Each structure stands twice: as structure tokens, then as C-alpha cells.
Amino acid sequence: MRLRVDGDTRLLVLTGAGVSAESGVPTFRDANGLWESHPIEQVATPEGFDADPRLVWRFYSERRRKAKTVHPNPGHLALAEADGRMGDRFLLVTQNVDGLHRRAGSRRLVEIHGSLFETRCSVCPRAPFPDEREYLGDPPPCEECRTRGRDGRLRPAVVWFGEVLDPARLSQISSFIDDARGQLVFLAVGTSGVVYPAAGLVVQARAAGGETWLVNAEAADNTRAFHHFVKGPSGKVLPELFEWA
Ligand code: OAD
């Protein structure tokens, strides 16, 4: 089964941890997944960070370290190629924080759960900044807060449970769907379909008249919401999926 792309098609892609599995990045909910070995409330909530910021930074420092040792796989590269061919008729939304899409060459990219390689302040609204360092001791203070007599601490610029997604990023996605006017194709790849709002994009795409595709190693929670389901590893499926008309 192939996904036909012609000169009018607008392609919105959503990726999850599965697209990076063949690069050696652990997914979240599979056996040996990241959430199997680390309680979510300790390492992926603002309350966990308040309770033990050293533990949280050790966890993210380790993820930073590992993410630097892996490489994009043919699935990432196929999406970067689609980006290059389609230009502004293409948008990639990823829940992944590993930076592999960018390293593969994707440019029209919205990282809705943030990035492992950015840091921000836990208190003040300063913009996230690029940061690859590993913090193993006390979390570093925010310099901008310090000059104002506050004691903000730096934290990973990833979205945690209980936090809202950046409204500017969400409206970029909604605008893409609205502007597609009958030419929308939505493709979800490597995601279990349980974390919202990403899991609801298929419903939004269908409401806009879009054709919807899922590429996943196993059935996802919301498989029935899609018109087409291609079961298999994305590193093998994606390079063969598109039929360029
Ligand atoms: P999950 O771990 O929940 O799901 C990964 C999905 O990828 C599963 O359905 C697997 O069957 C599938 N999969 C595994 N290997 C694959 C492969 N080689 N090719 C294709 N599919 C494969 O990961 P996400 O859906 O990304 O959020 O999780 C969503 C969010 O939940 C994450 O962004 C993270 C997590 O908690 C936050 O941290 C806020």
C-alpha cells in the first residue's frame, strides 16, 4: 500500500518514539521502555523536579548523553526527503525530544514536547536556549533570575505531564490543517496514540476532510480512527511509502 503525493497534496506528519526505535532510542511504553524503569511522576512532572531536581537532571543528562551517540535512520531520512520535495506543503510534528529529525535534515518541524538539547528556567519566562551539557550535581541557577534577586533553577526544556503545550506551536499545526482545504493527508508514525493533544490530531485531520494513515510496529490505541494502517517498522516502511506523482 503506497501513499500517493501529487503537486497539490498537503502532508502533515506526526511522529512518536517508534520512529527513533531503529536508531536505538528506547520508546516509552514498550517492554524495557523508558517509563518501565523510571516512575513518570519522579522524572517527568514539575512536582518531581521540585522534589528532587538532581535526580531529574541526572535522568535528562543521561538521555542527552545517549542521544548524542545515536544517528537518524532511514525513516527519519525519508521524512526529510519529503520535506525537501514538498516545501511548505509539508509539516512534521514530532513528540520526540531526541533531535534526530533535525539531524536528518527536516526543516519544517514542530517539536511539540520540546527538545532534549535545550534548557530553560523553571521560574522566569526567558526563552529556552541550546544546551548539551550534563548536570550531575546541584541544578545550575538561572543567571537572569539571579540578577533580579530570584532563585530560579534551570531545567530541561521538555514538556512534562501536567504542563500545557506551547500555544504558538499548536496554532501553527491548526493553521496548516485549515489551509490544506481538501488536499490534506495526515500520517502518524511510531506513536501509541495515548498522549493528547497529539493523539487527537487524527480526529482534527478527519474533520478537515483529510485522508489519514498510520505506520506503526503494532496497532496503536487509536488505530480505528485512521483510514489506512501499515503495520511494520518505520525505518523499512517509510522509504517505500510515498508514490511521487
Ligand atoms: P510510545 O512508547 O507510547 O509508543 C511508541 C509506539 O511506537 C508503539 O505503539 C510501538 O508499537 C511503536 N513502535 C516501536 N518500534 C517501532 C518501529 N520501529 N517503527 C514503528 N513503530 C514502532 O511513544 P509515544 O507515542 O511517542 O511524552 O509517546 C508519546 C509521549 O508519551 C512521549 O512524547 C512522551 C511520553 O510520555 C512526554 O514525555 C510528555
> How is the chain split into domains, by residue range?
3-24+71-113+165-244, 26-69+114-158
Q: Choose between 179 and 36: higher pLDDT.
A: 179
To test ligand 1's pocket by mutation, which of 192, 230, 234, 240 has the most ligand atoms within 8 angstroms of CB? 192
List pLDDT tens digits, range 47-77. Answer: 999 999 999 999 999 999 999 999 999 999 9
Query: Is there an atom of ligand 1 within 6 Å of 123 CB?
Result: no
Q: Which residue, by CA, sits nearest to atom 30 of ligand 1?
A: 195
Q: Domain 26-69+114-158: give its CATH superfamily.
A: SIR2/SIRT2 'Small Domain' (3.30.1600.10)
Q: Choose between 224 and 31: higher pLDDT.
A: 224
Query: Is there an atom of ligand 1 within 6 Å of 28 CB?
Result: yes
CA of 56 to the centre of ligand 1 (A): 21
Q: Is the peptide bond before 197 cis (omega within 30 degrees of 0)?
A: yes
- The second-level CATH assignment, the architecture, of 3-24+71-113+165-244 is 3-Layer(aba) Sandwich (3.40)
List pLDDT tens digits, range 69-97. Answer: 999 999 999 999 999 999 999 999 999 99
pTM value is 0.96
List phi, psi (to 5°) of 137: -105, -140
Query: Looking up cell 508514490, which residue turns up?
Result: 243
Helix (H, G, I), strand (E, B) or coil at 214: strand
Residues carrying an active site annotation: 113
Reference 234, options 178, 198, 191; nearest CA is 191
Strands 114-121 and 154-158: antiparallel
Query: Is there an atom of ligand 1 within 6 Å of 18 CB?
Result: yes
Q: Which residue, by CA, sits nearest to atom 31 of ligand 1?
A: 195
- Chain centroid to CA 89: 20
